[in-house]
Structure 1
Amino acid sequence: MELRKGSWKIAILVCALVIYLWMLFVDHSHVLTDISQKITLQKTRVPSRSVLYQSSDRSRIEDMPPDGRTDSKKSQSLLPRNVSGTLEGGISEYQTLKQQGLLPSRQLPTALIIGVKKGGTRALLEFLRLHPAIRAAGSEVHFFDHHYVKGFRWYRRRMPPTLIGQITMEKTPSYFVTSEVPKRVKHMNPGMKLIVVVRDPVTRAISDYTQVKSKRRKMPRFEDLAFLNGSKIVDTSWMPLKIGVYVRHLERWLQYFPLSQFLFVSGERLIADPVTEVTRVQDFLGLKRVICEKHFYFNATKGFPCLLKSEDRATPHCLGKNKGRSHPYIDPMAVQRLRDFYRPFNQRFYQLAGMDFGWY
């Protein structure tokens, strides 16, 4: 019996010794890690503030639950800083960092193109990609409406790698009309820059219908879908028409974000004068005016501006083959009834947005 008690005591001492040695090893490894990080920082000459942003802040944001229950003041302090101000010294700053061997990393976006469908969002994104300080996800990620439960870490992996001073951007037009999205975006970043591309709601609805019709052989006429049972009553439950009531969607967003964080881009002006609209976006994002007339040419066949070169191609080209497709014939009386329907909503939208888009 005494022998068994002695064996237990020896076993306990051995376990305690093993735990003590393991703790010493972990502390030692941490010291080595800290030393290696300091050496790396000295080699790349990156400001400590930026390094903290990339390592500490980013991981803490991703660990926050995407359910909106975190204290808003606390979550705001964990958000990435707006680093667009580092561009004041010119584009060469982050190019120099790249030459020094600093590897790009994936960051959560600080700017979103949130809408609207068939308003010109794809064109705007392609134009903005000409700017070396903007890096954008290539396809619509649909994080805030379809994949929110997958968390911020999943979202960040869908973003392109960026260097310090570059802006990460994403475009998903359905964000503007999805009721849950504003609260979710604010939870991730209360300082998010929000860009909304809008277009005459009647023309937009016809364009939306045309896109769907091109994929379906048997499709009812536009007029049959736009009005209830052949009457003059507009079917506002039909999504192509529901999207165009912009004021209702904007009112919901303004419950979470101030108007100063929005930029409204005219889809019509983006076609007629792309440089002016893109310049407004560059100013809104705090970037130098790099994109200018030399980047565009007008394609008379398609009827909209095309690019002399882009991020992916160095030769002149237009957007996808589906852009600029012809609209089907719509009864002019039906078009007029829709314009009459949208008029009061458009006026309220102009007042909220502080901008007259001229849809009459």
Structure 2
Amino acid sequence: MGEAVNGPRTFPNHIYHDQLNNNQGGNHIGREIVRSCDPTVLDTLALTMTKSNGTRSHYSLRNGLVAPKWHKTMGCCAFIISSVLYSLKRFGSYITKKVSWPLMFITLMMSIFMFTLFTDFIPFNRIVYSKDADNSAKGFIPLKGNTQSDRSALHLRRDVYGSDPKITLPLPRASTSSFNALSANGSQQGKAIKRFPACIVFGVSKCGTKAVIEYLKLHPHVVAPRSEINFFNNETLQHQHGLDWYIQQMPPSLDHQITVEKSPDYFQNHLCADLIRAAAPATKLILLLREPIERLVSEYMQLSEKRPGLPEFDKWVIGQDTGDVDQRVPSVMVSAYSEHVSYWLSVFPREQIHIIESQSLRDYPLQEMRRVEKFLNLQPFFQPDDFYYNSTRGFYCMRMRFSGKTQCLGKSKGREHITVSQSIMEKLQNFYQPYNNKLKQILSLDFPWL
């Protein structure tokens, strides 16, 4: 929801010097970034890029779009010259009698081209640049719009959340009304509006994320979209629609309510961590973890229903050329939790991430959901009568408090799993053990399978 602020804040400028690897061509480009954090003016950045051969190019960042300074100079000169020549030619000036029309046309086209290079009409795929985290080139959401209201929205977001020293390039901007919804004191009194999620359930797939979001929907102070949005791991949505579109996918909420979104595939996509942090650094996160092999088998069962031609489990997880666990299978590496958890913890502070063990949620939903309530600063709501054990399905279901109706999760939940051979089980256990040891060290938690 964000921290309420009584007045504008003043933030210091940040100057970072570092090396960033350019994957295109292998050059190392040094960036010197100076950011003005005065919330009363639009951000201005000076960007100096030094290639490995020693050449330096000076850039200025304006409204989220980058253009070399020499482009500005040449563009202005070309535009002015072509305009003057065209005017003189049009009125038959003696000076331009020998200037041909093709030359005039080429000059005019070149001036228009150069002019667009330093205006706001061309989308620019920018970079999230971090002082502390791993500095690797990453695509980012291009800004949309160039109106003053779009620009001021960025300052409203900083007013609410404060300065973020990890992000040194401009953040994505939505309309002012959308970012008003981020602020505890910016929403309209008594009116339901769409807001950026206060909490995101970001993983892990096949660990009970569906159960958590359905349980949370029982709470009168929680609203959630009907389906997964998957915005921060979808470049097409980011570039074509922008952050405004994402906020519009959320259900309206009142001042006393929070919005919670679930997209479990964010977990293994590290870029999602940077994008969420850039959009709303105060966002709280919920992560569910399950015994790695159980999770892998569960995902295999789901995939096999969708892909009839999928190989048998043993052949799917074991490389035929090596005889070892095949790390090229994405699902295998999703269960290597420590590789992903360590990155998310490098982007978000530990206190913003609530971790739930999948089996504990399955066996003790009331206790786990009360912990979630406390994490989200929600008023206590969940009671024992909200959950009942369904012996047919083998897990707890929900009971609607006011209507008395019951609701269980989909038919896919609680499905029977295949039996994994002892030899394959041992290979998987040996493979995941180092990751589990590292995870235990990172989280200081003691799950039964750690």
Quote the residue 1:212 is aligned against: 303
Deviations 1:138-187 (A, max 9, x none): 10000100122221110011001000021111000011110211110011
- Shift in Å, 1:57: 11
What is the correspondence of 1:42-61 to structure 2 with a 5 Å cutoff? 60=153
* 1:357/1:148 CA distance change after superposition, 3 Å: farther
Q: Of residues 70, 92, 102 in structure 1, which corresponds to 2:170?
A: 70
Q: Aligned with 1:169: secondary structure?
A: strand
Q: Of residues 271, 275, 283 in structure 1, which corresponds to 2:374?
A: 283
Deviations 1:21-48 (A, max 9, x none): xxxxxxxxxxxxxxxxxxxxxxxxxxxx
Q: Which runs of 4 or more aligned residues in structure 1 lie more than 3 Å from their structure 2 counterparts after TM superposition?
A: 56-59, 61-64
Quote the residue 2:435 is aligned against: 345
Quote the residue 1:321 is aligned against: 411
TM-score between the two structures when normalised by the length of structure 1: 0.72
Q: Aligned with 1:177: secondary structure?
A: coil
CA distance in 1 between partners of 2:280 and 2:191 (Å): 24
CA distance in 1 between partners of 2:314 and 2:442 (Å): 30
Report whether the alignment pairs 1:358 with 2:448.
Answer: yes
Count of aligned pairs between the two proteins: 283
8 A contact 1:133–1:167 mirrored in 2 = yes
8 A contact 1:232–1:337 mirrored in 2 = no
2:437 partner amino acid:
Q
Structure of greater relative contact order (alpha carbons < 8 Å, 6+ residues apart) = 1
CA distance in 2 between partners of 1:217 and 1:68 (Å): 47
8 A contact 1:115–1:173 mirrored in 2 = yes
1:346 partner amino acid:
N
8 A contact 1:197–1:265 mirrored in 2 = yes
CA distance in 2 between partners of 1:310 and 1:104 (Å): 24
Give the number of the structure whose residues are more often helix, by fraction: 1
CA distance in 2 between partners of 1:119 and 1:191 (Å): 24
* Percent of matched pairs sharing the same residue: 32
Deviations 1:24-80 (A, max 9, x none): xxxxxxxxxxxxxxxxxxxxxxxxxxxxxxxx999825999xx972179xxxx9883
TM-score between the two structures when normalised by the length of structure 2: 0.58
Report whether the alignment pairs 1:143 with 2:231.
Answer: yes
- Shift in Å, 1:317: 2.1
CA distance in 2 between partners of 1:81 and 1:297 (Å): 37
Give the number of the structure whose residues are more often strand, by fraction: 2
CA distance in 1 between partners of 2:232 and 2:443 (Å): 23
CA distance in 2 between partners of 1:268 and 1:241 (Å): 20
What is the correspondence of 1:246-265 to structure 2 with a 5 Å cutoff? 246-265=337-356
CA distance in 1 between partners of 2:372 and 2:300 (Å): 29
1:359 partner amino acid:
W
What is the correspondence of 1:157-172 to structure 2 with a 5 Å cutoff? 157-172=248-263
Report whether the alignment pairs 1:274 with 2:362.
Answer: no
* 1:187/1:216 CA distance change after superposition, 3 Å: same
Quote the residue 2:42 is aligned against: none
CA distance in 2 between partners of 1:158 and 1:262 (Å): 23
* 1:318/1:79 CA distance change after superposition, 3 Å: closer
Which deviates further from its counterpart, 285-294 or 168-177? 285-294
1:329 partner amino acid:
T
1:318 partner amino acid:
C
* 1:354/1:58 CA distance change after superposition, 3 Å: farther
What is the correspondence of 1:195-206 to structure 2 with a 5 Å cutoff? 195-206=286-297
CA distance in 2 between partners of 1:104 and 1:252 (Å): 35
**CA RMSD between the two structures:** 2.9
* 1:71/1:114 CA distance change after superposition, 3 Å: closer
CA distance in 1 between partners of 2:449 and 2:412 (Å): 25
Structure 2: stretches of 5+ with no match in the other structure: 1-148, 158-166, 173-178
